[in-house]
Chains A and B, each alone.
Chain A
Amino acid sequence: MTYSELTLRYFETAPGAGSLSGPGTYRGAAGSRAQGTWVQFDVEVAAGTIGTARFLAFACPHTIAASAWLAEQAPGLSVRPALPVSVADLSERFDVPTAKRGRLLIIEDAWVAAMTAALHR
């Protein structure tokens, strides 16, 4: 398996890896470790805007890289129940093989779950 330069960079540095807790933080997760892919996002929200985001991922390099990139992009985004970019955009950005694109849907599900938790606080 080969990876794009961007994928390798985000996989190797994994900015935003970790978790958040405390008032104003919301969590969403999807997938399962037993099935090989699990992603969790924590977001700290104030006045409908994401301040900080963290992620955890038990997943392949593509999934870790895409999750890390999303967590990095999150500060300043409005809370809404959708990814800030489409799954197709993520797939193209990280050169995700067609057979692995289902894993991006797990990222989407985790992200949407975190956003939904924030919206229903």
Chain B
Amino acid sequence: MNRPVYLDYAATTPVDPRVAEAMAKCLTADGEFGNPASTTHDYGDAAGALVEAARARVARSVGAAAAEIIWTSGATEANNLAIFGIAHYYRGDGRHVITARTEHKAVLDPCAELERRGWRVTYLTPDRGGVIDPAHVAAALQPDTVLVSIMHVNNEIGVIQDIAAIGALCAQHERARLHVDAAQSVGKCGVDFARLGMDLMSLSAHKAYGPKGVGALVVSRRGRGARDPAQLAPLHFGGAQERGLRAGTVATHQVVGMGLAFELADESREREAERVSMLRERLWRGLAAQGGALRNGDAERSVPQVLNVSFEDVEGESLLAAVRPQLAVSTGSACTSALAEPSYVLRALGRDDRLSESSLRFGLGRFTTPADIDTAVAVVARALERLRKVSGACGA
């Protein structure tokens, strides 16, 4: 039986075989299985050297210094470390945070927890294309703002935010540090930590053909204007690993996988962008031809790997159920229970509940072929025709 066409690369990617091979060499007795923190024997030194090489690879691919990379279990932990770490360290300076309504839950939920603990959080609303106007950030900054957390590439609509402009605003502010969730960025668009003016940046390996369970928080060691580099309060205790910010034995195989995955993704980024852009436009043209298809997010400011489309005159859960046997995609609704909730990202863009629910996110990736795109168009077209007929929206 054929597996459904995989078009959910924005959720996760398969591990590149070269990455899997490199990781496997860190697991068994004939490989570098030592504890990288063990400095009393060669096993530890060899593993430690691999960890540092991986750190350098990740740093190079995102325009950071190796010493700025803090390994974590993924972007969610990195976001938590950034938000709570800054909030707690600078709690004497201020208790105001700025973020956006379209952030990932891994940012919004920590911000909501800060609110419960007494911080004030300003949630910025994007324009209809999903773009946060830097002027809105400027207007939201207050004397006691200690953190601005804005994602680089949105996970649902693929829109790229103007991080350089927001970074420049934060650099002029006395206290505000800029954290950027860049979990979706690597391999999709250029990431230059230093040039974009970030203080902190969250990364994930499994969105870029690396393993699940590993990521990093990049913490700037540069001062910004008259300010010292950002400081964090740790969330974990029990060891001095990762500059004391993330206690626990570093998983050599995981970080080696992330290092190689990021290097490979960076190397192939430009040619992949060109290839995937053509596939995405082929997909959009095919879907638009079905009628009642509305593209979500500013197409001119999106990464080529993501296409999010709302479909008129179909119910969202039925649309997903109809395509599911042949197509692996994500829906705009969050099925946190038996009842689907409309996508809060699409709602923030001004879509109504129905169009927010009846959206599909197509995530294209390294292994997507033109034949996959043609299959996707055909499957969605059949589903739309059938469901619109059942609902009386067309020719019943």
Binding site for B on A (CB under 8 A): 1, 3, 8, 11-12, 14, 17-19, 33-34, 36-38, 40, 56-61, 64, 97-100
Contacts and interface: CB of A to CB of B under 8 A. Distances in A.
B172 interface: no
B275 to A, nearest CB: 34
Contacts of B322: 11-12
10 contacts: A11-B321, A12-B322, A17-B389, A34-B354, A56-B391, A56-B396, A58-B391, A60-B318, A98-B338, A99-B338
B338 A59 contact: no
B353 A36 contact: yes
B391 A57 contact: yes
B335 A1 contact: yes
A59 B315 CA distance: 6
Given A14-B386, A60-B317, 14 more contacts: A1-B320, A1-B321, A1-B338, A1-B340, A17-B390, A18-B396, A36-B354, A58-B313, A58-B314, A59-B318, A59-B391, A64-B318, A98-B338, A100-B339
Interface string B119-132: 00000000000000
Contacts of A59: 315, 318, 391
Given A34-B354, A56-B392, A61-B321, A99 B315 contact: no
A40 B393 CA distance: 12
B317 A56 contact: no
A54 to B, nearest CB: 8
B354 A19 contact: no
* Most B-side CB within 10 Å, residue of A1, A33, A60, A61: A1
B34 to A, nearest CB: 44
Contact of A99 (B318, B339, B392, B396): B339
A39 to B, nearest CB: 10
Interface string B300-341: 000000000000011101101110000000000001011110
A24 to B, nearest CB: 19
A12 to B, nearest CB: 8
Contacts of A40: 392
A120 B158 CA distance: 55
B357 interface: yes
A56 B394 CA distance: 11
Contacts of A19: 392, 396
Contacts of B314: 58
Interface of B: 313-315, 317-318, 320-322, 335, 337-340, 353-354, 357, 386, 389-393, 396
Contact of B315 (A1, A8, A58): A58
A115 B335 CA distance: 35
Contacts of A61: 317-318, 321
Contacts of B392: 19, 40, 56, 58
B321 A3 contact: yes
Contact of A33 (B337, B338, B354): B354
* Most B-side CB within 10 Å, residue of A11, A33, A58, A99: A58
A34 to B, nearest CB: 7
Contacts of B313: 58
Contacts of B391: 33, 38, 56-59
Contact of A14 (B321, B338, B353, B390): B390
A36 B396 contact: no
Contact of A64 (B338, B390, B393): B390
A37 B313 CA distance: 12
Contacts of A17: 389-390, 396
Contacts of A14: 386, 390
Nearest to B320: A1
* Most B-side CB within 10 Å, residue of A3, A36, A56, A59: A36
Contact of B318 (A11, A33, A98): A11
B315 A36 contact: yes
Contacts of A18: 389, 396
A47 to B, nearest CB: 27
A98 to B, nearest CB: 7
A91 to B, nearest CB: 12
A104 to B, nearest CB: 13
